[in-house]
Amino acid sequence: MEGIVFSVPKGDTMKSKKSTYNRSFWIIAVLVSISGISCSDNTEIKPANPQTDIAALANIKEPVYRDFAEIKRSGVLRMITSYGSGTYFLHRGIQAGFEYELIRDFCKENDLALEVIIIGEGENPYDLLNSGAGDLIAASYTITKEREEVVDFTRPYNMADQLIVLSEGLGLEPESITELSGIPISVRRNSSYYVKLSQLQEEGFDIQINLVADDMDTEALLFQVANGVYGATVADNNFYEASNKYMDGLVKGPVIAENDTIAWAVRENAPDLKNNLNKYLYKHFRFDERGIPKRSAFLNVLRKKYYQGSTPVEDYFSPAVETRKFGGISPYDSLLQVVANEFDLDWVMLTSIAAQESKFNPNSESWAGAVGIMQVLPRFSEIPIESLFDPEINIREGARILKEQMDHYSYMDSISQWQFTLATYNAGPGHVADARRLAMDHNDDPNDWESVSKALLKLMQRKYYQHARYGFCRGIETVRYVSEITNRTNTYEAILALSQNGSDGFPGVLGIKTIN
């Protein structure tokens, strides 16, 4: 899809944005059908048999042991999710999404860094969980008996109705399940929708199930239905309502399941993690004595933001506009790539640092006096402070400082180089030197980041910092800074890899497939 650009004139209404978006997706849908990816005429309509599919949900049946204590010791919670408007996505380089913001708040309360694990093409989320690659699956999963065979679930944090969504091109507006006869309904075999449709078949309803690839999620199917590639699918009502704001061509059909409970999936042998997640969720979602759900103000804000409409979601559903403006992860990708190349730095890492430091705001100023996109401290630069608000100058100056530190640690491997460079960029060379000396005092390796990170935490205690040359250091901030930038870089790279592997698939901020 490179080189195909669609613009939305300034001042257009939401309806015109929907129309522009659907014109752009019509071309995507044509390319999909030409390339033979998930076409309606080469997917086989099959009868369902969910009992034979339970074992197929996961290949790894015995989960590794990593409960809340181990997660706390590591300092990082790893969230497995898909790339989509309701789960996790990038908005102008900044991480967003209903699931992401909710779990980030949990991490903040529990003093944890959050790492996002994007489900890759062909990867199994349950295997990622049980192998220990991640700690929980957060992808708007409905609790089903089949899924409970391979994972455990937290208490619910949302509820949804399953409804049939049809293509406007069919010219039908069925109001009951009995009116669906002869309409192939396209769903994934590994979805809760497939299970419900199978139950309806068993109850005697004339339901035709059209199985599609397991990596085509609800959002992608709605795109396809809106443009006539498929006749019908199933969606949660919140996904349908959010998508329908930005897409023409969808017709709401009958509800086939009411009040499905949505929860996070965890390993069966992680009861403490489940308990801590449940305590958190109880503050935000519970049922009153009449069974009516009660939500916290925070949860209602997230629901309104991601399901009722906001700028990030609007931009997500307008990939042509986003690509025209930015063309990748952030508003400054091209500049960051050029500067990174000049200084022989990793441009994705440089982008992650910019996101951490200023969220790409060139006018940002910190309480400590750091300014601009890379939050350069004027006392460490010969450039006049007013010039440091220029994005190109600021990024170059930040890259220069980072390069000096990378050269200082050139005797280390590349991972350690970046860890120590990031720590120095955040805390300053004096505090890092103090931490390395303290590590040696405890017979630890001063070139090992894990050892030095422990020493940085000790520099928050009087008995250690009173003997340090540069005194007190808020080491927890530096340790978290290194962890969050490293994790974000890994996530950016995963998203870029997906966009390259599946760029002719389905829209999104980067034009990649979503797979929840």
- Active-site positions read 357
Compute, in degrees rounded to 10, the torsion defined by CA atoms 384, 385, 390, 394: 90
User: In residues, how long is the chain?
Assistant: 516
Pair of tokens at residue 45 = 């309509």
- Hey, what amino acid is at 95? Q
CA distances (Å), 479 to each of 113, 458, 475, 492, in order?
Answer: 10, 12, 6, 20
Query: What DSSP character marks residue 84?
Result: B
Rounded to an integer, what distance in angstroms lies between the CA atom of residue 171 and that of residue 482? 55
The burial class, CB within 10 Å (0-12 / 13-18 / 19+), for 414 is: exposed
Closest CA to 513 of 329, 22, 505, 239: 505
Pair of tokens at residue 346 = 């990793």
The DSSP H or E segment spanning 253 is strand 250-266
Rounded to an integer, what distance in angstroms lies between the CA atom of residue 204 and that of residue 196? 13
H helix count then E strand count, the chain: 20, 13
CB neighbours of 497 closer than 8 A, spacing ≥ 6? 120
Rounded to an integer, what distance in angstroms lies between the CA atom of residue 287 and that of residue 345? 52
In degrees rounded to 5, what are phi and psi of residue 445?
-80, 120
Which residues, listed in sequence order, are joined to residue 165 by a DSSP beta bridge?
Answer: 233, 252
CA distances (Å), 316 to each of 27, 160, 398, 455, in order?
Answer: 18, 22, 30, 42
Helix extents (H) in 290-366: 297-307, 311-316, 319-325, 333-342, 347-358
Q: Integer distance in angstroms from the first to the last C-alpha of the chain? A: 23
CA distances (Å), 144 to each of 147, 151, 195, 207, 260, in order?
Answer: 5, 10, 8, 20, 9
Rounded to an integer, what distance in angstroms lies between the CA atom of residue 240 and that of residue 461? 52
Which residues, listed in sequence order, are joined to residue 45 by a DSSP beta bridge?
Answer: 210
Rounded to an integer, what distance in angstroms lies between the CA atom of residue 188 and that of residue 124? 13
Rounded to an integer, what distance in angstroms lies between the CA atom of residue 58 and that of residue 286? 30
